[in-house]
Amino acid sequence: MCAVDRTLPGVTSRATTRGLSAATALLALLAVLGACAGAPAAAHTASAAQAQDAHGSGLTAAQARERLDAGNLRFVSGQLQHPHQDPDSRGALAGGQQPFALILGCSDSRVGPELVYDQGLGDLFVVRVAGNVVNDENLGSIEYAVEHLHVPLIVVLGHRRCGAIAAAREVVTSHAHAEGHLQSLVDALRPAVEATPGQDAESTCQANVREVVAALRASEPVLASRVRSGAVAVIGAYYDLETGAISVLAD
């Protein structure tokens, strides 16, 4: 059984099942160890609790979006606050985390989520992979953040001039085969390429964001029910390299 409707070719069903089992075991282990910030250990200091309150504790998805939007506006205008990056914040967060949003973003060096949203330690739970694709490994990370850290908002963040998108378009349209493990990224991006014939790379990138958003919203057994109940929202967004602005694609 696949956890998402797009898995990487070459990943057998047995490997997929094994991956899910391992992820489930990991979640159970973390829960037993009391490592999740949703149930802070008694040893946490008052300052740690205050730091958690200052971050994502109790935020709704709408409030989380407002916080991201405000941070991106600061980044665009150059009015950066660099929040939660001082030694006190670092120490206060040592006992636990409660990030207010999860970002599934591209590995591109120009699109660091904490930078473009002007956030700091403990604010964002970040999963990065070239082309911001979804696979079982990063889905396990996303489920952990939703189940154990109670993150209310997931943002799939694509960006202009994405090298992974450009490579996938070239390989797919020329019926070629990429070197090494790059082919796995090409295969993950293939549906977006095939959905945008004759269109530009930005259209392919945005199609991929929308497809990943749809895959996460429909992902069983964890995310779909949380999306239906309103416990978590999944949105798509697009980053402009020149302006620094992030616009919402899939609401």
Cβ 72 to Zn ion, closest distance in Å?
18
Q: Is 106 in the site for Zn ion (CB under 5 A)?
A: yes
| Nearest residue (CB) to Zn ion, 3 versus 209 | 209
Task: Scan for tokens 């409707």, then name that residue.
Answer: 5
Q: Is 103 in the site for Zn ion (CB under 5 A)?
A: no
| Nearest residue (CB) to Zn ion, 2 versus 167 | 167
Handedness of CA 234, 238, 241, 245 (dihedral sign): negative
DSSP structure class, residue 109:
T
Using CB under 5 A as the binding rule, the residues of this chain from 15 to 54 that contact Zn ion are none
Query: If you write DSSP's letter for every residue of 124-141 in order, what string do you get?
Result: EEEEE-GGG---HHHHHH
| Nearest residue (CB) to Zn ion, 108 versus 147 | 108
> If we measure between CA atoms, which residue out of 226, 204, 206 comes closest to residue 216?
226
Using CB under 5 A as the binding rule, the residues of this chain from 185 to 244 that contact Zn ion are none
Using CB under 5 A as the binding rule, the residues of this chain from 108 to 127 that contact Zn ion are 108
Among 59, 92, 162, 193, binds Zn ion (CB under 5 A): 162
Cβ 205 to Zn ion, closest distance in Å?
8
Using CB under 5 A as the binding rule, the residues of this chain from 127 to 146 that contact Zn ion are none
| Nearest residue (CB) to Zn ion, 59 versus 162 | 162
Number of residues that bind Zn ion (CB under 5 A): 4
Q: What angle do CA 62, 209, 220 make, to 5 degrees?
A: 75
Residue 151 token pair: 């993150």
| Nearest residue (CB) to Zn ion, 153 versus 164 | 164
Binding site for Zn ion (CB under 5 A): 106, 108, 162, 164
